[in-house]
Amino acid sequence: MQRHAHGIVIFSVLVAGQSCNPWAMNNPDDPLRCIAPCNAGESCQQGVCQKNARCGDSKINTNEEECDGQAFGGASCLSKGFAEGSLSCDQECHIDTSSCVLSGQLVDSTPINIATAAQDESDFRFACGDGSCLTVWREQAASGVGGIFGLRLSSEGKKLDPSKIAIATSGPTKAWPMVTRNGNEYWIIWEEGEGGNLEIHSTRLADTGEILNQTAARLNVSPVLKTGTAEHACEKGHCLLAWMSEDNDKWNVYAARFEKETDQLSEPVVVASSVCEGTTCKNYVDVASTDENFLLVWATGTRNIQGARVSFEAALLDAEPLHISSSVGSQRFPRADCSTEACWVVWRDERRPNVDIYGARISAAGAVLDPNGVAISTVDAEQYSTDVACAEDGCLVTWINDLGQTQYHSSKYGARVTMAGDVVDKTAIEIQIYSPGSLENFGQAYSAYDGKHYWTLWQEYRASTGWDVLGARLAP
């Protein structure tokens, strides 16, 4: 029993959530607003017994609490200056950013095992669209016949298929699969036959994993591919195949439009004539696309980098090749990728005693913005297997460093470049580093962008399983 200031005697039994003193609820200045203590762990708030604010009640109660459970008060990894990731809340209600990722950092601290069967997985490629990617590779069966398999990956780094997709496994041995994204499907090509007259076959795969044409089409490639590889790219429903072929010991660059309705090619256009002769040829051309046209790039017999643009209708736009790099020494194995308005071309460069990585930008209008290129990596090691993948405002360039020891002790690195021509990462990003006894060597390596992450995949030799395909994602 308590006597109120106005002389009224009140008998009160306190229950959690019940008013402590109804007479004082509307008078916050009343000194007897709470006339008796609330239960343990409670206090009288606005005339009502309430549980005391504490860390762990899933509410941010005081200035000392930055978070509580899943409550972060609007904070995120982005608001904390990171590129992506998820915040967590520690036991003292302080925000933990250890799972956030900065731009240029690996999203996957441990590489993703993509193809690690007992058989060697080789000759792989991959392509990405918005939110997913498809990896294709050649896998040799115990019989010695090589087939083409694939696997889809989500932007979150998850495998979308319970087991590998058998894309082409019957008939003659298949090699050098290639894949590009075309809207909501993938266009896959590969080679069949031996050197001298190689056949190019193709099929299409829906982004749901369904093979759209069960019988692969043999493409009417003419002149025939005699050695090397064919490359292809798609943009806005338009697809182009590019390759090199020999005519009287002189090699020309060709391109043809892929007609989806017939699964065949249009009449080829000669993109460049006599780019190399005889054994000086590396028989390699790459193709990429902006929002306006395709860009083809190749190395000449004099080891310079050239290119040319081709329209979506497969018409040649540059009567004379674009001279991308004619520096001293040898420039070889160019790779290209584009944003909507410009492209980056990267290559192995030997203007110094070591083998370096250089690159140059090409505008959609065909202007070479960095004549002879800019240095991307010039460390004292032989660098090879370079590739480039572009987002809208920049690209990721990747390569492999051979440490030059008695065995092939290699590591994989990368660096981001901007569409303004700057190298963001002066110190290269470490992607996968040589580890004695487990990681013995690298083979091919490629990169792509899925609309959220850069992906970089590589072929890795392990003592236990032979050649496997692994990968990792990077934040742009």
Upstream peptide bond of 223 is cis (omega within 30 degrees of 0)? yes
Query: Would you give the end-to-end CA distance of the chain in angstroms?
Result: 69
Question: What distance in Å separates the CA atoms of residue 174 and residue 182, rounded to the nearest whole number?
Answer: 23
What's the average model confidence in pLDDT over 143-167? 91
Render pLDDT for 208-217 as a digit per residue (tens, 0 to 9): 999 998 789 9
Name the more confident of 405 and 13: 405
Our measurement of the distance from residue 90's CA atom to the centroid of its chain's CA atoms, rounded to an integer in Å, reads 32
Q: Fill in the amino acid letter for 284.
A: Y
Checking if the pLDDT of 228 tops 80, the result is no
What's the average model confidence in pLDDT over 446-461? 93
Question: What distance in Å separates the CA atoms of residue 20 and residue 13, rounded to the nearest whole number?
Answer: 9
Render pLDDT for 285-335 as a digit per residue (tens, 0 to 9): 999 999 999 999 999 988 899 999 999 999 999 999 999 999 999 999 999
Tokens of 66: 């930055």
Tokens of 241: 């195949």
User: What pLDDT, on a 0 to 100 scale, did the predictor assign at position 5?
Assistant: 44
User: What pLDDT, on a 0 to 100 scale, did the predictor assign at position 363?
Assistant: 96
Tokens of 270: 């000669």
Q: Which residues pair with 259 in a beta bridge?
A: 264
Question: What distance in Å separates the CA atoms of residue 447 and residue 396, rounded to the nearest whole number?
Answer: 8
Compute and round to an integer the Cα radius of gyration of the chain. Answer: 31
For the stretch 150-155, contacts whose Cβ atoms lie closer than 8 Å and that sit 24 or more positions apart, written own/partner, are: 150/179, 150/188, 150/205, 151/114, 151/115, 152/207, 152/209, 153/112, 153/114, 153/455, 153/471, 155/131, 155/450, 155/451, 155/452, 155/453
What's the average model confidence in pLDDT over 218-247? 89
Tokens of 125: 């490629």
114: closest CA among 156, 151, 147?
151
Report the CATH number of the 112-474 domain.
2.120.10.10
**Residue ranges of domains in the chain:** 1-52, 56-102, 112-474
pLDDT band with cut points at 50, 70 and 90 for residue 19: very low
Residue 117, CA atoms < 13 Å, CB-side half-sphere: 16
Render pLDDT for 267-281 as a digit per residue (tens, 0 to 9): 999 999 999 887 667
What's the average model confidence in pLDDT over 63-74? 92
Tokens of 16: 């959690």
191: closest CA among 139, 161, 228?
228
Question: What distance in Å separates the CA atoms of residue 137 and residue 124, rounded to the nearest whole number?
Answer: 4
User: What pLDDT, on a 0 to 100 scale, did the predictor assign at position 63?
Assistant: 77
Checking if the pLDDT of 194 tops 80, the result is no
Encode the chain in three state secondary structure: CEECCCCCEECCCCCCCCECCHHHCCCCCCCCCCCCCCCCCEEEECCEEEECCCCCCCCCCCCCCCCECCECCCCCCCCCCCCEECCEECCCCCEECCCEECCCCECCCCCEEEECCCCCEEEEEEEECCCEEEEEEEEECCCCCEEEEEEEEECCCCECCCCCEEEECCCCCEEEEEEEEECCEEEEEEEECCCCCEEEEEEEEECCCCECCCCCEECCCCCCECCCCCEEEEECCEEEEEEEEEECCEEEEEEEEEECCCCEECCCEEEEEEEEEHHHCCCCEEEEECCCCEEEEEECCCCCEEEEEECCCCCECCCCCEEEECCCCCEEEEEEEECCCEEEEEEEECCCCCCEEEEEEEECCCCECCCCCEEEECCCCEEEEEEEEECCCEEEEEEEEECCCCCCCEEEEEEEEECCCCECCCCCEEEECCECCCEEEEEEEEEEECCCCEEEEEEEEECCCEEEEEEEEECC
Checking if the pLDDT of 18 tops 50, the result is no
Tokens of 31: 């000194």
What's the average model confidence in pLDDT over 42-55? 72
Rounded to two decimals, what is the model's pTM?
Answer: 0.85
Question: What distance in Å separates the CA atoms of residue 411 and residue 430, rounded to the nearest whole number?
Answer: 8
Checking if the pLDDT of 266 tops 90, the result is yes
297: closest CA among 340, 355, 233?
233
Other CB atoms within 10 Å distance of the CB of residue 318: 17
pLDDT band with cut points at 50, 70 and 90 for residue 475: very high
Cα 154–157–158 angle (5° rounding)?
A: 65
User: What pLDDT, on a 0 to 100 scale, did the predictor assign at position 408?
Assistant: 54
Checking if the pLDDT of 99 tops 50, the result is yes
140-154, 168-182, 246-260: least confidently modelled range = 140-154
User: What pLDDT, on a 0 to 100 scale, did the predictor assign at position 10?
Assistant: 42
Mean pLDDT across the chain? 86
pLDDT band with cut points at 50, 70 and 90 for residue 375: very high
Q: Fill in the amino acid letter for 262.
A: T
pLDDT band with cut points at 50, 70 and 90 for residue 248: confident
